[in-house]
Amino acid sequence: MNEEIKTGMVIDETMKADLLSSAKWAKFLLVVCAIVMALYFVVGVVLTIAPMVLPPAPMIGGGIIVGPLYVICALIMLYPIVKGFQFANGVKKACQSDDEAQLARGFAGLRAYLKFSGILTIIALVILALALIAVFVYNCMGAN
């Protein structure tokens, strides 16, 4: 009578197929995001360095400000990309080998990805609201 009673979810073959499909699409989107991140980084470095090595020209001086912002954006994009790949790879391995630990690792990556994206969205909305308020106040003060 030493039977182990297992409780929890059971993943059937249809669910596995859906998870594998989700992992493949996630990996595709993450590769595109990684390419965009690399381009942001390169553009940021070029915009930062160009004013130092090229003769003065209009708009290049602004690169000293914009360039580092591109680099910062690229570095911010790195964390969700890593966590997204953790999801895609964990789910793929879990479905291929019926490994619950890999599935848990994959979903932990998805949770971290979504949490980070949610927090970043809240921050962006707050900044947008503050900017709209600032524009409204500026216009109400009679500034033309």
Q: For residues 103 and 89, give the distance between their C-alpha atoms in angstroms, rounded to a whole number.
A: 9
**Residues found in the chain:** 144
- Nearest-10 Cα torsion for 40, 42, 43, 49: 140
Structure tokens at 1: 């009578």
Residue with tokens 């932990």: 108
120, 77 contact by CB (below 8 A) = no
How many Cβ atoms sit within 10 Å of the Cβ of residue 110? 20
Q: For residues 55 and 123, give the distance between their C-alpha atoms in angstroms, rounded to a whole number.
A: 38
88, 106 contact by CB (below 8 A) = yes
pLDDT in tens, the chain (144 residues): 456 666 677 888 999 999 999 999 999 999 999 999 999 999 999 888 877 777 665 555 566 788 899 999 999 999 999 999 999 999 999 999 989 999 999 999 999 999 999 999 999 999 999 999 999 999 988 765
